Amino acid sequence: MPLVVPGINNNKGGSVTDQWANKLVGKKLGERSDEVTFARAELPKETRVIEPGQLVTKDFNPDRLNVHLKEDGTVSHVDKQ
């Protein structure tokens, strides 16, 4: 189970990508949000979830949020592309 410490993963400033990274990294995506899971329905409309080994296009979309998963299904990092 990932360690989630309130206040450590909070970033009141920073970029939108950093804010999403603080919400998602170390959590799994699911149907509801709690300490270890984040609801997929709460992700922005332009979100692409990328699983290990998945092929993705390299087209540029400045509004798209890429959520990268590890083998165990937890979020490893978030970026925009």
Total domains present in the chain: 1
Assigned domain for 71 exists: yes
CA separation for the pair 69, 28 (Å, rounded): 8
User: How many residues would you count in the chain?
Assistant: 81
Assigned domain for 45 exists: yes
Q: Assess whether pLDDT exceeds 80 at residue 77.
A: yes
Give the CATH number of the domain where residue 53 resides: 3.30.10.10
Convert the pLDDT of each residue in 42-75 to its tens digit.
999 999 999 999 999 999 899 999 999 999 999 9
Assigned domain for 65 exists: yes
The answer to whether 49 touches 73, Cβ cutoff 8 Å, is no
Domain with 42, as residue range(s), is 16-80
Convert the pLDDT of each residue in 8-19 to its tens digit.
444 456 899 999
Q: Which amino acid is at 26?
A: G
Q: If you ran DSSP here, which 8-state letter would residue 17 be given?
A: H
pTM passes above 0.85: no
pLDDT band at 81 (very low <50, low <70, confident <90, very high): confident
